[in-house]
Structure 1
Amino acid sequence: MKFASFLLCLLLCGAAQASPVSLIPMPAQLKLTDGTFKVDDGTRIVVAANDTAARRSAQYLVALLAQTRGLHLQIVEGAPADGAIVLSHNPQASVTQAQGYALDVTSRGIRVDARDDDGLFYGVVTLWQLLTPDAQHGAVQVPALHVADWPRFAWRGLMLDSARHFQSVADVKTLIDQMAQHKLNVLHWHLTDDQGWRIEIKRYPELTRIGAWRTPPDAGKNGEPQRYGGYYTQDQIRDVVAYAAARHITIVPEIDMPGHAQAAVASYPQIGVTGKRPAVSVDWGVNPYLYNVDDQTFQFIDNVLDEVMALFPSHYIHVGGDEAIKDQWQASSAIQAKIRALHLKDEDALQGWFIGRIGSYLSAHGRRLIGWDEILDGGVPADATVMSWRGTQGAIKAAELGHDVVMSPAPDLYLDDVQSDLADESAGRIPVRDLASVYAFQPIPSVLSAAQAAHVLGAQANVWTEHLPTMQHVEHAAFPRVDALSEVVWSPAAALDWKGFLSRMPAQLQRYRDQKIAYADTAFEAQIHLDDQAALKSGQAQVTLSNQAGYGAIRYTLDGSAPGPHSLLYTAPFTAKLPVTVKAATYAQDGSLLATARTRVLDRASLLSREGVDLPNCPGSDSRLRVQPMPDATSMAPVYAINLFNACQQFPSAPLDGVTAIHVDAVRLENNYALAHDAKSVISRPRATPHGELVVHGDRCDGPVLASMPLPDPAASARRFSLDAKLPPQQGEHTLCLIYTAPVEGPLYAIGRVSLIAAAGRAEP
């Protein structure tokens, strides 16, 4: 009951603290004053006759308001006037910080002033948010206020991986639009990797003729395409770069080297170490192909970079540098001779020499090298910038050495990590990174001195797409966690306020809905909890409702109908007689929907079953992925949990009284994971049948075998199949350990659902 009272306070007290203005990120300074100003279709936007920057920002505001509010404002040139919105690119504006602006709303009008173009644009973004406070369309009353605002960090980024899965130009522009609305200013565009080369290089057409396409593991079967891929033409890239620039976003391209090079080597084998042509990889993870280090290969890379630099005006060029396992270099007599000739210590030092050579080439062309933190391992050019992804240690080391740093650590800012461990969560990596954890991220490590901290340019979140095959997946992963990121990198550290942030989210979610962004409502999703064992014994369930964020009002029904804003309000745990269907949705204080309804059926069959994603790993291995049936799936479900190193899951506290059998909905998955040196950690178990079996152990994973279910022939069976077996009589609760013994070099297997079957005729509670 104490927990229930605390939960009720979180839900109702949180909902009562709504912000008077729903701005994300929160401005550096905001002061509400008396009065309001009405904006309607008759309101004009005034810009000076020769202020091109102001006109561009005005046009952006007009278009965005028409889309999201149904307001249609007119732009006029001339002197400031009462009753209007004035946008002024003013070198004497009161806010002096770069990219800063001042915004004033009075009963006589609205004015945005900025010293630079960026600041004026960001002021317009804030104004747009003021004009879209709710789901209404048409005229809006804006509260009188004064805003003085500027960013905390210069680098406010998002990384989009287009190499593993390809997004259309329209998709990329949609992401850019959302970045602009969050005042993010760097799109790190990951364009090449083992699984695809996505940028047209006219001098090397094979990079896109061959390197942009891979043959899926099950090509032409079960709905899989014959090949997968795509690339951006140079004209398309120029268009996207210009589109981003108009929204004050710089695109930093990434061309991976010396590792993650398999698609390039597949296109031009002579630039690889062995000279042999591999296929473009279908395997996620760490593939072995590296660039050669001879003059011919560097000429190739230089020529590629020439075309990349011609397309991307960004000061920074990202060269990757990560996960370059050195097996091919170690096995090559020519590479070993090169190491000796250069008087280098080892292959890591050779990578340092390699990166140094690329850095010199970029520097000679007025650009600056940026790479993942592995570039520190073998030495790095003095002017190189380091992007820290292996936790924060790379950033700390780089800053201590005097290098500029962008914080991008895993798992903190990896948006392909799942947002919850709930059954309906989408595909992605573990561990869970929820909305609150992103909001809590600290970009400046506390161990850095003030001088070292000055090297932290900012932070970015990464959207790797191995498990995000469509734009719907990308948007689900990115939003609303990008809202949390934007506030962390823009707003003053002292101003960060989790409860205040939550109070501003309802309006932001409505903006997503207006723009048809497939955001995740996971943070507000109603979770339906009960003690399964107690419910089975008593025939009634003690139900508790909650959500991740501890925010909003949860409304529920028990009759199978859809909950609405006037359904029963959850205030404390309640008792429901079985069988019953609980449906629950979360609402904001203004009645707007925070999370769509979730359903849980409570009857004997469901209480004797578990979804595979709800079964924890067996002890000893934390590795876990949530994956879809095929690597290039186009739907969001189903999703399965797998452990690449130990195919073992547990059904804890299984109620076995009266249970006589077990039924498993199983699935066979593609084993498309390149584990490199970690492959030795995969546990191999002997099998008793040709294709392996699913073995059920009692109490412990080395406990007595309760059942063994042979797996079907992969060549003669569907991907999804059922397994059934009798169980010996057991009393009470026992842990069931379910282990696949299939060959490790074959397909992977996962559990969709496990159902315990009670004796026929056993009464329903």
Structure 2
Amino acid sequence: MYSIFLYFLFLFEMDKHQVSIIPQPNNMTITEQVFNFDEDVVFYLDFQDAKSYEVSNYFFEILNIVPHPSKLKDESLTTPFSVSLLGMVVNKELKQKKVVISDNHPAFKNPEIGDEGYILDISSDTIYIGAKSPKGLFYAIQTIRQLLPLSIERDKKSCLDEKCSLPGLKVSDFPRFKWRGMHLDVGRHFFSVDEIKKFLDLLAFYKFNNFHWHLTEDQGWRIEIKKWPRLTEFGSCRSESPQKGNRNTGDGVEYCGFYTQKEVKEVVEYAGQLFINVVPEIEIPGHSSAAIASYPQFGNPNGPTEVLTRWGVSDGVYNIKEETFLFLQDVLSEVMDLFPSEFIHIGGDEAPKGPWKNNPDVQDFIQREDLVDEHGLQSWYIAKIESFLNKNNRRLIGWDEIQEGGLAPNAAMMVWRNWQYGIDAANKGHDIVMSPTSHSYFDYYQDDPENEPEAIGGYLPLKKVYSFDPVPEELDKDKINRVLGAQGNLWTEYIYDWDKLMYMAFPRTVAMAEVVWTLPEFKNYDNFLKRWEINSKRLDSLDVNYRKLSDNDF
């Protein structure tokens, strides 16, 4: 308890400035100045990209402000405006109080800052928000959101009416990694469209840019495929689930759920407005009991005839018949029509080899194609799927089992079991996303199981998540750019509902946000805890059931 006492003692100094930004910006100076909103504030817009207007409107919604036409100056069509305005801001020639939003700042010719970087300069008379893209402006606004009084978003108060203030800052910020992701398994337990949107809102708040949507499982198929309707008519329901707290006994209650294509489009569009890419996962060739139970012709002899009702891995694995690949191509074609993502995740993990070993047709094929064994067959399988995706201008990504027997040429790999798999793949020129069980599995216990709700097992405290460096030390230095980034994973065998999801996700997701955005030299766990304590009040205002810190978190 003494460490918690010291921790709260430290909060006093930080609370004076209310500068508790997560993820920690990579370059930030706090000044003594304060910007106070009032009715005299003039908003200047300087945009090259039409989508920047959507971002500025989003900013006004956050502030609960509708600028009077006389207070909104759109100078986007004035060619020399950016340079001249920047000069006026720097030289204090614009006497009135102002907020300047620009996607045309000269500094953004610097490649280090990139499309997702931004500049934020807050003084007593000016807020300058600069970026080279709407995405950068959006992330700047997420930073500002964390500086606003709680009442602005919680109570929908106007920043003008409340005369809210922002601390003086000079920020030049950009993310460490391209892939800043969170994963959600909706196969074991289903979450509604509204819940998915709320989750996306939280991810955007912490500057994540990828949502990995795990849509198919042994225990349920969750996405409508119009050409193959039994996938959801039959495959989206299991007859029962393991009992809560007694995982070896069924509860006798049917469990169903899936997303229509209209709902999927709604989620993808919503995510796009938050600059989040949605990566769909369709499990191939294993974790396919729900699909095979729906269409048994695509399985092996004695394959599953019902959607799996227990947790764990079943013996459901697709066969190698041409009709099966045509089925998978149909599925992936409809998926690609719904998701603009460059990457399509095909799973590839935990594919049982027994059904292939016991299938004479498969064994003949392995011999005929000189594939050595079933691991070689899995790589052949993945390469065949990859070829189809590449022809459709998409890239395949899968769990690290896809490297068994050799990795497909253009495939990217998501590392979950063994860091060495990622090192080997990256050194061979493949892109990787680090997502190891050691630091990224948020279905693990966060503290002593005696004091925590039921989880799958394991132990992953907040401090260990924060310590994660996605770049392995053993990786060849010229291959570091092959590490696209990292993500946290939420497998939902023991995450039954929204409140449990929030409890398991936060604050570990917030720690992951800093892992993937902030450069190592600017990370500090003790400082993160101080910022989280202030930042968590914003989640309180959103009724997020995050886990409270315990003594073991210090």
Which residue in the other structure is 1:102 paired with?
Answer: 119
Which residue in the other structure is 1:122 paired with?
Answer: 139
**In structure 1, how many angstroms separate the alpha carbons of the residues matched to 2:150 and 2:121?**
17
Q: Counterparts in 2 of 1:515-554, with a 5 A limit?
A: 515-521=542-548, 523=549, 525=550, 547-550=551-554
Which is greater in Rg? 1
Q: Judging changes above 3 Å, is the alpha-carbon distance between structure 1 residues 420 and 218 closer, same or farther for their aligned structure 2 residues?
A: closer
Relative to its length, the structure with more strand (as a share) is 1
Q: Counterparts in 2 of 1:496-645, with a 5 A limit?
A: 496-521=523-548, 523=549, 525=550, 547-550=551-554
Q: In structure 1, what residue type is equivalent to 2:307? A: V
Q: Counterparts in 2 of 1:159-308, with a 5 A limit?
A: 159-217=183-241, 226-274=253-301, 278-308=305-335
Relative to its length, the structure with more helix (as a share) is 2
| Alignment partner of 2:50 out of 49, 52, 56 | 52
**In structure 1, how many angstroms separate the alpha carbons of the residues matched to 2:277 and 2:4?**
45
**In structure 2, how many angstroms separate the alpha carbons of the residues matched to 1:12 and 1:514?**
20
Which residue in the other structure is 1:670 paired with?
Answer: none
**In structure 2, how many angstroms separate the alpha carbons of the residues matched to 1:148 and 1:50?**
20
Q: Judging changes above 3 Å, is the alpha-carbon distance between structure 1 residues 461 and 37 closer, same or farther for their aligned structure 2 residues?
A: same
How big is the shift at 1:502? 1.4
**In structure 1, how many angstroms separate the alpha carbons of the residues matched to 2:290 and 2:39?**
53
Which residue in the other structure is 1:143 paired with?
Answer: 167
**In structure 1, how many angstroms separate the alpha carbons of the residues matched to 2:485 and 2:357?**
37
Q: Is the 8 A contact 2:183 2:214 kept in 1?
A: yes
**In structure 2, how many angstroms separate the alpha carbons of the residues matched to 1:455 and 1:489?**
14
**In structure 2, how many angstroms separate the alpha carbons of the residues matched to 1:520 and 1:291?**
40
How big is the shift at 1:485? 0.6
SS in 2 for 1:320: coil
Which residue in the other structure is 1:386 paired with?
Answer: 413
How big is the shift at 1:275? 6.6
Q: Judging changes above 3 Å, is the alpha-carbon distance between structure 1 residues 409 and 429 closer, same or farther for their aligned structure 2 residues?
A: same
Q: Counterparts in 2 of 1:659-678, with a 5 A limit?
A: none
Q: In structure 1, what residue type is equivalent to 2:122? A: V
**In structure 2, how many angstroms separate the alpha carbons of the residues matched to 1:63 and 1:419?**
36
How big is the shift at 1:341? 1.7
Deviations 1:574-593 (A, max 9, x none): xxxxxxxxxxxxxxxxxxxx
**In structure 2, how many angstroms separate the alpha carbons of the residues matched to 1:8 and 1:462?**
29
Which residue in the other structure is 2:82 paired with?
Answer: none
How big is the shift at 1:482? 1.2
Q: Is the 8 A contact 1:45 1:74 kept in 2?
A: no
SS in 2 for 1:25: coil
CA RMSD of aligned residues (A): 2.4
1:462 aligns with 2:486: no
SS in 1 for 2:57: helix
Q: In structure 2, what residue type is equivalent to 1:445? A: P
**In structure 1, how many angstroms separate the alpha carbons of the residues matched to 2:179 and 2:392?**
22
Q: Judging changes above 3 Å, is the alpha-carbon distance between structure 1 residues 344 and 49 closer, same or farther for their aligned structure 2 residues?
A: closer
Q: In structure 1, what residue type is equivalent to 2:14? A: A
Unmatched segments (≥5 aa) in structure 1? 526-546, 551-765
Q: Is the 8 A contact 2:174 2:517 kept in 1?
A: yes
How big is the shift at 1:8? 7.4
Deviations 1:89-110 (A, max 9, x none): 1153445422111011111121
Q: Judging changes above 3 Å, is the alpha-carbon distance between structure 1 residues 209 and 43 closer, same or farther for their aligned structure 2 residues?
A: farther
SS in 2 for 1:386: strand
Q: Is the 8 A contact 1:398 1:404 kept in 2?
A: yes
User: How many residues end up aligned between the 2 structures?
Assistant: 517
Q: Is the 8 A contact 2:182 2:210 kept in 1?
A: yes
Q: Is the 8 A contact 2:419 2:436 kept in 1?
A: yes
How big is the shift at 1:278? 1.2
Structure 1, 94-103 or 461-470: larger mean CA deviation: 94-103
1:18 aligns with 2:22: no
Q: In structure 2, what residue type is equivalent to 1:498? A: Y
How big is the shift at 1:77? 4.3
Q: Is the 8 A contact 1:53 1:89 kept in 2?
A: no
SS in 1 for 2:346: strand
Q: Is the 8 A contact 2:289 2:304 kept in 1?
A: no
Q: Is the 8 A contact 1:270 1:276 kept in 2?
A: no
Deviations 1:597-641 (A, max 9, x none): xxxxxxxxxxxxxxxxxxxxxxxxxxxxxxxxxxxxxxxxxxxxx
**In structure 2, how many angstroms separate the alpha carbons of the residues matched to 1:41 and 1:216?**
59
**In structure 1, how many angstroms separate the alpha carbons of the residues matched to 2:3 and 2:311?**
41
**In structure 1, how many angstroms separate the alpha carbons of the residues matched to 2:291 and 2:459?**
34
**In structure 2, how many angstroms separate the alpha carbons of the residues matched to 1:149 and 1:217?**
46
**In structure 2, how many angstroms separate the alpha carbons of the residues matched to 1:466 and 1:155?**
26
Deviations 1:671-706 (A, max 9, x none): xxxxxxxxxxxxxxxxxxxxxxxxxxxxxxxxxxxx
Q: Judging changes above 3 Å, is the alpha-carbon distance between structure 1 residues 430 and 223 closer, same or farther for their aligned structure 2 residues?
A: closer
How big is the shift at 1:506? 2.4
Which residue in the other structure is 1:618 paired with?
Answer: none
**In structure 1, how many angstroms separate the alpha carbons of the residues matched to 2:4 and 2:141?**
38
Deviations 1:129-151 (A, max 9, x none): 12247889633221212100000
Deviations 1:319-360 (A, max 9, x none): 001001201000111111111121110000000000000011
How big is the shift at 1:549? 3.1
SS in 1 for 2:410: coil
Which residue in the other structure is 1:572 paired with?
Answer: none
**In structure 2, how many angstroms separate the alpha carbons of the residues matched to 1:476 and 1:74?**
42
Q: Is the 8 A contact 2:242 2:310 kept in 1?
A: no
TM-score (norm 1): 0.65
| Alignment partner of 2:148 out of 105, 110, 131 | 131
SS in 1 for 2:20: coil
How big is the shift at 1:14? 3.7
SS in 1 for 2:437: coil
Deviations 1:382-437 (A, max 9, x none): 21101000032221121122211100000311011121115441221332211111
How big is the shift at 1:72? 6.7
Unmatched segments (≥5 aa) in structure 2? 76-84, 86-93, 244-248
Q: Counterparts in 2 of 1:289-328, with a 5 A limit?
A: 289-328=316-355
Q: Counterparts in 2 of 1:692-731, with a 5 A limit?
A: none
Q: In structure 1, what residue type is equivalent to 2:201? A: D
Q: Judging changes above 3 Å, is the alpha-carbon distance between structure 1 residues 116 and 141 closer, same or farther for their aligned structure 2 residues?
A: same
Q: In structure 1, what residue type is equivalent to 2:138? A: F
Q: In structure 2, what residue type is equivalent to 1:242? A: E
How big is the shift at 1:65? 4.1
SS in 2 for 1:454: helix
Q: Judging changes above 3 Å, is the alpha-carbon distance between structure 1 residues 226 and 11 closer, same or farther for their aligned structure 2 residues?
A: closer
Which residue in the other structure is 1:476 paired with?
Answer: 503
Q: Is the 8 A contact 1:49 1:77 kept in 2?
A: no
Q: Judging changes above 3 Å, is the alpha-carbon distance between structure 1 residues 273 and 121 closer, same or farther for their aligned structure 2 residues?
A: same
| Alignment partner of 1:85 out of 99, 105, 108 | 99
Which residue in the other structure is 1:702 paired with?
Answer: none
Structure 1, 240-249 or 47-56: larger mean CA deviation: 47-56
**In structure 1, how many angstroms separate the alpha carbons of the residues matched to 2:38 and 2:200?**
28
Which residue in the other structure is 1:340 paired with?
Answer: 367
